[in-house]
Each structure stands twice: as C-alpha cells, then as structure tokens.
C-alpha cells in the first residue's frame, strides 16, 4: 500500500500548477509582435504557433518550471524558463539573415551549439533541395558522410570511411539491428515522416555502447504538429532514369494531451538507366512503408508509442552464370520492373514505447523497444529461398538526467539489448548459425558549464554475451563474453558570440559480429565466400576531434579535423582459391593499428549585396593507413560539394520559391586494397526549381534535372564498380506536394 501511494504521489503528486500558458512573442529591438513564431514545450513535444498578433496559447496542465523554446524566421532561437502562472512576453533578437537550419538535436534535446563535439544536424527538407531516391542518397549531402551502394535500391551510410557494423543507426532512439553486416543489405528505413538526421562522426560508445565505432546516425520523426491543428501531406515524386514513382500520405495532429503522426509510402523503380542509355539488369526495387506515432502527456508523465514498418523487394544487379562475365552481360536495352532473380525481400518492424517522468531536478526516461528484421533472399529458385534470416531484438534504455546544480548536469543509466538470430528452415543455405546475444551497459556522463566554458566527460562499461546453436552445418557451439570500457572527455569554449572551438577525445569499441566470428558460406550479394574466425577480439578506437565554428552576419564556417586510431581492426583478407565458385575471404585482424585522419570544411555564404543567394560549399577528406595491405578498402573519394540556392519571397499566388544548382566533384582515389581498383575523378551537376501555389489547396512543385551533363562515372564505393557498371545517367524529376492544415 505504501508503495502504491508512493507511485501515485510520483504520478500525480507534483501535479500541474497551470491550466494554459499564454504569451506574446515580440521583436527585441522594435517591440513589434512576431506572427507565426513556433513556441514549444521542450520536454513535452508540444508546439503551437503564434497568431497574426504574436499571441500564443498552450492548452493543458503542466508542472512548473517549464522550459519553453521559441523560434521564428529571421530571429535567433531562444530558450526561456517559465516558473509562474503569469502571462509570458518573449522577445527575440533579430538576426541579419537566416540560414534556415535546424538548431536543436533530437538525440539530446539540446541546442546544437551546446555540444562538446561537432554534430551534423540536418532536416530532411534541407537534404532534399534536389529530391533523392533514398535516404542513403540524401545523406551524401552531409559533409563526411557517403553512400556505399549496390545500385540505387541498396545503400548504406558511410561515416568517415567506416560502414556496416561500424556505423550505428538509431530510429527515434531505437537501435536498428538487421543486416548492416552484409555489404549488399540496405538500411530498411525510408524518409517517410523523418524530420531530422543527426550524424556523430567517429567513436561514440559512451552514449551508444558497442559498435558505435565509426559513427552514429540518429534519425528522428517529424514533430507531431501544432496543438489543436491537423496537417495532411500528400506527395508524389517521379524520376525518369528509373521510371520511378514515390507516393506518400502523412497525417500529423495534436489535441490538448494527445499527438499523432500516421503515414504510408509506396515506391516503385524499374532498372536504372546509365549515361549510355542502357539499363542495368535487375537494379529495380519496390518499397512499402508505414509509420505510426502517438504521444501523450499527463502532468509530469510524457509517453510516446511508435511503430515503423518497411517492406522492400530489391533486385540484386550484377548476377551472371558465366565464369568470366563481361559488363555487357549485366546490361539490357529493355527497362524492366517485374521481379527477377536474385532478389531480396527485406521486412522491418520497429516498435517502441518511451516513458518520461519529469520531476523538478530529475528526468527519468525508459525506452523499451522491439525490432524484427527479416531477410529473405532468392538466388536461383523462385520458390525456394537461399537465405531466410530473422533477427529479433529487444533494445532498452533507462536514463536519469539529474540537474545537480544550475550549471552541472549528470546523466546515468543502463542500456542494452537481447538479440536472437534465427535461420528459417525453408532456406537451403545459411551463412551464420542461429545465435543469441545479450548486451548490457552501465554509464554516466556529466557536464559542467561556466561562463564561456563547457566541459563534458563520462565513462561506461559494457558486457556482450554471444551463444550460438549447433545444427547440421555449424557443428561446434560457440559461447563467449566480451567486455568493453569506454570514456569521453570534451570541452567547448565560446571565444565570442561568433567564434566557438571544441576539443573532444572519445573512445569506442566494437565486438566482432556473428558473421565475422561464425560465417561459412557464399554471400551472393557480395560475390564472396566468407569464412569467420572465433579468435577475433574486440576492435578499439580512440579519436581526437577538433572543431572551429565561425558564425558571422553573412558567413558561417566550420573546420572539423580529426585523428582516429583503431586497434585490432577486423577486415576481410582475400585468399587465392575459390569455393562454391566464389573467391574465399577470411575474416582477419590487424596486428598493428589502422590510423585515420582527415576532416571536413564547410562554408555557408549569404552575400550582403544579393540577399536571395545562399552559397554552400564543403570539402571532405579522409586518409587511412595500416601495416597490413588489405586491412582497409572502400576509402571514399575526397569530395567537394557546392550548392547555390536563390530563395525568393514573392507575394503572388503562384510563386517561385527557389532555384538550386548543385555540383559535387569527387577527386580520384588511388589508395586501394588488393583486388580493388583506383577510381578517377568526376563531377555531377544537378539543377532544380521549387514553385508553390497559395490557396485553399496549397501546392508545392519541385522539378529539375540530375546529372545534367550525362556524365559517365562510377563512385569508388559502388559495389558494381568491379563489373564496370556506370552510375545513373541524366534524370528528370518532378515532385508534387500538397500540404493541408486544418484547424
């Protein structure tokens, strides 16, 4: 009974002191009210918009104090504490020009500027100024991030040259465990309802545990929408090079205490067209996606239930029965969409339940989730699968954020997962045995802020246990536990409002994946016979990352060099014999370390003499070295990306919003492993325009041309490179978007 009363007190004891929050948003210099400012309750996922007179009202009962964040176009984002029942007057400082960038990270619900390491934070809208075919392709617009592809249907993120099991992907905080270990398996996530993408480059095991060695990709849903309003978004996108269509419907709405996001997406692409007007056989793919999210709050309790479903049918190009196939064997004069072999059916279910208790100085968060990744691969038979692998996972995270003092915050908690990998009996082949895996980690991170300094540091310990099961193919059982200890220590110093420097040292570790330990079979998608080794130990990484940010009136600049040392690096060593008709590759480990160094430079210039223009340019460079010749491969080509956007603010009913010109120049890559060839430089030019029609049915229309000059090229990270298959040729696109808001 005592316990019950205590829980009831916790749930309802500190109950709200305010019925509704009302306020006014004004310009700090002129005191003129600001219309259509976004006002959000930081911890509650509640957003409202100020009216024409700058007035806003947030419905509901909330415990005090509250953190309120206010932003408007042309003004600096401001965070204020609301401590009493009185009406609020929030004044915003005007900024000379607006970069129109997102500023708040979803991973830590924090201003990007407050992080002690540089975090790339982009909205999906920013990444789609020229619409892309997949989320993987969109990510290539982020400095230091690349896309390893097997045609347009299969793409994997590459961060600072590392990919697959070395990059951790999280969807709304849920760890995606699927086929990231396979070179030919895509992400299984679409851009449907995704609002922001955060990229943490380099090791981040302190916050995310094992495997966050190369970097972390954190994807977050769009906000639920304005309180008291309903939004319906209908979109249709056509691409000429794949005769591809992508259609989606998304609903977002919020009442006083409940918030929803619901959507669906269908995509269908035929074989893609190369610059020589031929089509790459079986590069076709189809996607179906569903998204559901519901949030609520009651007093100090905030909850979210989310579910994402994806189902993809993906052709695997580059398949031939000839022992010495020619490039022409993989090309056709016909553009087909119908399913052909080999084919992958990839299904993902991601369900999560997040609960937060917001107390006066402490916030308790419990995230429990379930994910199922199903990979079904047919190579030679239409009805008999070659591979049928189910990966079930139960990730969890319990975090406590304690504000010890006004300038000292401590985060601590537990994080882990219980994973089970099961081969279905229908499949004739199996690459890895059935196995169970349990991860548990304990961590703390503390941050201290004083004047212009911010210090953050923490430590973490993790244990992973792996147990495999015996069957007719894998006759010996494997059972082992791995331990990892990690730390992070970083600092930022705001020299002035314009200049900011950061220095951060982090460690990371990666436990050998089941496929690296226990593989023994043909991996068709990668054209290899892979053999694992149970002697592999954990990979360890240590990175020092420095960043300098300048934010002027017309110019912003980021310099972000780094040095990363990885020891016991696991790699595939090609052997000089074949098995099952494929070259044998053994998993091996370096005796010395692999050193990576490089960095990104990004500039955003908004010239004073031409206020409609935005020029963005970034340069990414990476170098890797190791004593073993084959330790690393697929080092991305250095990239120089340029974008010029002219943004117009017309008053007419039919208006031009922007005109975009993008040019990505890839420099040659000559640092290669055995059986890997060098890549030459190339440049791709894209142009586009966005128009809108204002009225009862607001329309947005994007159209343009990608690869305008029809350049013939093969990216160094394309798995089709060895087959001599060129990337996509000139492609015309049209995208129509209807965005309805109903109050």
Partner 1 sequence: MKNLKSTFIAVAVLLAVSSCKKDECHECHYDIDGSTVSIGERCGDALEEVEKSGYAANGVVFDVHCHEH
Task: Catalog residues that contact partner 1 under the rule CB under 8 A.
Answer: 230, 232, 249, 251, 264, 281, 319-321, 340-341, 380-384, 742
Tell the smallest beta-carbon distance from residue 264 to partner 1 (Å): 6
316's tokens: 């695997």
What burial class does residue 5 get, using C-beta atoms within 10 Å of its C-beta: 0-12 exposed, 13-18 middle, 19+ buried?
exposed
Tell the smallest beta-carbon distance from residue 383 to partner 1 (Å): 4
Q: Are 450 and 427 in contact (CB under 8 A)?
A: no
Tell the smallest beta-carbon distance from residue 309 to partner 1 (Å): 11
Residue 660's region, left for phi above 0, alpha for psi from -120 to 50, else beta, is beta
Q: Alpha-carbon distance 84 to 18, whole Å?
A: 8
What is the DSSP annotation of 644-695?
EEEE----SSEEEEEEEEEEEEEPPB----TT---B--EEEEEEEEEEEE-S
Tell the smallest beta-carbon distance from residue 289 to partner 1 (Å): 11
Q: Alpha-carbon distance 259 to 43, whole Å?
A: 14
Nearest CB to partner 1, comparing residues 129 and 308: 308
Total residues found in the chain within this entry: 743
Nearest CB to partner 1, comparing residues 381 and 611: 381
Tell the smallest beta-carbon distance from residue 48 to partner 1 (Å): 21
SS3 for 455?
strand
CA dihedral 713, 715, 718, 723 (to 10 degrees): 40
Tell the smallest beta-carbon distance from residue 389 to partner 1 (Å): 21
Tell the smallest beta-carbon distance from residue 580 to partner 1 (Å): 16
Q: Alpha-carbon distance 420 to 436, whole Å?
A: 4
Tell the smallest beta-carbon distance from residue 700 to partner 1 (Å): 19
Nearest CB to partner 1, comparing residues 288 and 491: 288
CA dihedral 512, 513, 516, 517 (to 10 degrees): 80
How many CB atoms are located within 10 Å of the residue 302 CB? 21
What is the DSSP annotation of 334-369?
S---S--SSEEEEEEEEEEEEEEEE-SSEEEEEEEE
196's tokens: 């922001």
Q: Alpha-carbon distance 728 to 149, whole Å?
A: 12
Among residues 464, 472, 394, which one has the least CA distance to residue 433? 472
Q: Alpha-carbon distance 519 to 344, whole Å?
A: 19
Tell the smallest beta-carbon distance from residue 189 to partner 1 (Å): 19
Tell the smallest beta-carbon distance from residue 283 to partner 1 (Å): 14
Q: Are 692 and 296 in contact (CB under 8 A)?
A: no
Among residues 703, 685, 693, which one has the least CA distance to residue 643? 685
């Amino acid at each position: 009974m005592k316990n019950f009363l205590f829980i009831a007190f916790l749930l309802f004891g500190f109950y709200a002191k305010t019925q509704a929050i009302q306020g006014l948003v004004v310009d700090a210099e002129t005191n003129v009210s600001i219309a259509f400012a976004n006002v959000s309750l930081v911890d509650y996922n509640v957003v409202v918009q100020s009216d024409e007179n700058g007035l806003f009202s947030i419905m509901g009962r909330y415990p005090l104090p509250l953190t309120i964040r206010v932003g408007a176009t042309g003004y600096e984002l401001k965070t204020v504490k609301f401590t009493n029942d009185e009406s609020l007057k929030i004044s915003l400082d005007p900024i000379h020009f607006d970069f129109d960038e997102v500023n708040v990270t979803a991973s830590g619900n924090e201003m990007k500027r407050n992080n002690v390491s540089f975090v790339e934070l982009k909205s999906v809208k920013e990444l789609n100024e020229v619409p892309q075919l997949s989320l993987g392709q969109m990510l290539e617009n982020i400095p230091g991030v690349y896309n390893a592809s097997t045609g347009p249907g299969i793409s994997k993120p590459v961060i600072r040259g590392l990919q697959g099991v070395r990059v951790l992907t999280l969807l709304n905080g849920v760890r995606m465990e699927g086929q990231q270990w396979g070179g030919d398996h895509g992400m299984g996530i679409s851009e449907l309802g995704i609002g922001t993408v955060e990229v943490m480059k380099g090791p981040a095991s302190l916050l995310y545990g094992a495997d966050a060695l190369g970097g972390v990709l954190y994807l977050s849903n769009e906000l639920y929408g304005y309180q008291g309003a309903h939004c319906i978004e209908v979109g249709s996108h056509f691409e000429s090079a794949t005769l591809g269509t992508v259609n989606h419907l998304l609903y977002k709405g919020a009442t006083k205490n409940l918030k929803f996001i619901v959507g669906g997406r269908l995509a269908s692409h035929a074989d893609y067209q190369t610059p020589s007007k031929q089509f790459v056989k079986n590069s076709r793919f189809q996607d179906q996606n569903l998204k559901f999210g519901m949030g609520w709050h009651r007093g100090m309790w905030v909850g979210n239930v989310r579910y994402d479903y994806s189902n993809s049918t993906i052709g695997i190009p580059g398949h031939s029965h000839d022992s010495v196939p020619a490039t022409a064997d993989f090309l056709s004069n016909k553009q087909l969409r119908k399913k052909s072999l080999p084919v992958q059916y990839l299904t993902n279910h991601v369900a999560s339940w997040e609960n937060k208790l917001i107390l006066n100085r402490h916030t308790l968060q419990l995230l429990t989730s379930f994910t199922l990744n199903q990979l079904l691969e047919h190579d030679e038979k239409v009805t008999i699968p070659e591979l049928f692998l189910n990966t079930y996972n139960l990730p969890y995270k319990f975090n406590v954020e304690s504000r010890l003092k006004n300038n000292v915050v401590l985060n601590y908690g537990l994080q882990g997962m219980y994973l089970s990998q099961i081969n279905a009996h229908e499949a004739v082949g199996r690459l890895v045995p059935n196995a169970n895996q349990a991860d548990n980690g304990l961590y703390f991170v503390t941050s201290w802020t004083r004047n212009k300094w911010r210090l953050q540091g923490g430590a973490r310990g993790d244990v992973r246990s792996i147990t495999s099961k015996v069957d007719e193919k894998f006759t010996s059982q494997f059972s082992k536990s791995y331990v990892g200890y990690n730390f992070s220590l970083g600092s930022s110093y705001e020299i002035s409002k314009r200049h900011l420097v950061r220095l951060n040292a982090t460690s990371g570790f990666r436990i050998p994946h089941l496929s690296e330990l226990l593989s023994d079979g043909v991996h068709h998608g990668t054209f290899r016979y892979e053999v694992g080794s149970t002697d592999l130990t954990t990979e360890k990484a240590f990175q020092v990352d420095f960043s300098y940010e300048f934010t002027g009136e017309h110019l912003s600049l980021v310099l972000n060099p780094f040095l990363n040392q990885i020891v016991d690096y696991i790699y595939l060593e090609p052997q000089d014999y074949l098995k099952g008709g494929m070259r044998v590759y053994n998993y091996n480990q370096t005796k010395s370390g692999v050193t990576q160094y490089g960095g990104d430079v990004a500039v955003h210039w908004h010239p004073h003499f031409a206020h409609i223009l935005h020029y963005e340019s970034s340069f990414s460079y990476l170098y890797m070295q190791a004593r073993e010749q084959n330790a690393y491969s697929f080092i991305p080509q250095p990239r120089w990306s340029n974008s010029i956007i002219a943004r117009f603010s017309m008053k007419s009913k039919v208006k031009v919003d922007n005109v975009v010109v993008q040019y990505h120049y890839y420099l040659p890559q000559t640092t290669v492993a055995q059986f890997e060839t060098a890549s030459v430089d190339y440049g791709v030019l894209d142009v586009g325009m966005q128009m809108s029609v204002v009225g009862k049915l607001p329309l947005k229309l994007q159209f343009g041309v990608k690869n305008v000059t029809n350049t013939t090229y093969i990216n160094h990270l394309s798995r089709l490179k060895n087959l001599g298959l060129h990337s996509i040729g000139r492609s015309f696109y049209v995208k129509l978007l209807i965005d309805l808001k109903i109050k």
